[in-house]
Amino acid sequence: MVSQLSISARVSQLQKARFFGFAKRLGPTIVMLAVSFGGAALCHAQGADFEVLVEPLTAIDRQFMTEQRGRVEVLANRLGRGLTGNVDRDLDTLQRILDERMVPASDTLTLQAMGLVFGDLLSDRLSMQWVVYRDRQGRSRALRYRELDVFLFPMTMISRRQEAGSDRRLRPLFDETVAETRPLLPGGKWFQ
């Protein structure tokens, strides 16, 4: 796991308010021009030093994530199981879904749904919360520890490995992720 960069130079709410107030005064024509140029005006408003912006989940994010969990629940039910929140049982269920090839490597959406469930388990174990993480690469759902710059991106932990043809087991991946993340958290040295 690679530590994330500091977000000390992120854009303030005041800068955003000034930009959007300015755009509103100029009228819908300017806004349409900004949209037609692929959001270039919005990127410029963020400034050249824009690194990372962390926001709470939106209602749409929460709804999408609920649907994704339901997608994995359906697969678990086909195995005669359900998602319980128990790390050992749910990791075993996710591993069986992969072992029985219930999801092809090309089904990124379902593999990312499995990553979400994997992330829920990490979240519970490490006391992390889901957030929206934006950087130059785009928008992601990530786990964050309180207000610290400690992030995990479990949504793609399974999908990227499967798409690359990896047969890495989920239990060691989970244990290694926890072991590498805990020392970064306050009081984490006590868990070593």
| Per-residue pLDDT reduced to its tens digit, 22-37 | 444 444 333 333 333 3
- Specify the number of domains making up the chain: 2
Sheet holding 138-144, edge to edge: 52-55, 129-135, 138-144, 151-152
d(CA 83, CA 121): 11
List, as one string, the DSSP characters of 33-92: HHHHTTTHHHHHHH-TT--EEEEPPPHHHHHHHHHHHHHHHHHHHHTT----S-HHHHHH
- Considering the domain boundaries, does residue 108 fall inside one? yes
What pLDDT is stored for residue 187 in this prediction? 81
- Residues 67, 115: one domain? yes
d(CA 47, CA 38): 16
Region 103-115: what's the mean pLDDT? 97
Region 129-156: what's the mean pLDDT? 96
| Per-residue pLDDT reduced to its tens digit, 122-132 | 999 999 999 99
- Residues 106, 22: one domain? no
d(CA 82, CA 79): 8
d(CA 5, CA 76): 37
Instruction: Pick the more confident residue, 11 or 96.
Output: 96
- Phi/psi zone of residue 178: left (φ > 0), alpha (ψ -120 to 50 degrees), beta? alpha
| Per-residue pLDDT reduced to its tens digit, 45-103 | 445 566 899 999 999 999 999 999 999 999 999 999 999 999 999 999 999 999 999 99
Instruction: Pick the more confident residue, 85 or 1.
Output: 85
CB 139 within 8 A of CB 132: yes
What pTM was estimated for this model as a whole? 0.73
Instruction: Pick the more confident residue, 167 or 19.
Output: 167
CB atoms within 10 A of CB 84: 11
- Residues 40, 98: one domain? no
Closest CA relative to residue 61, chosen from 161, 145, 129: 129
- Considering the domain boundaries, does residue 78 fall inside one? yes
For the chain, what is the mean pLDDT? Answer: 81
d(CA 48, CA 152): 25
- Residues 76, 163: one domain? yes
What pLDDT is stored for residue 191 in this prediction? 57
Expressed as residue numbers, the domain containing 23 is: 7-50
- Residues 31, 64: one domain? no
Residue 112 is part of a domain; what is its CATH number?
A: 1.20.120.1090
- Residues 36, 114: one domain? no
Q: Is 135 helix (H, G, I), strand (E, B) or coil?
A: strand
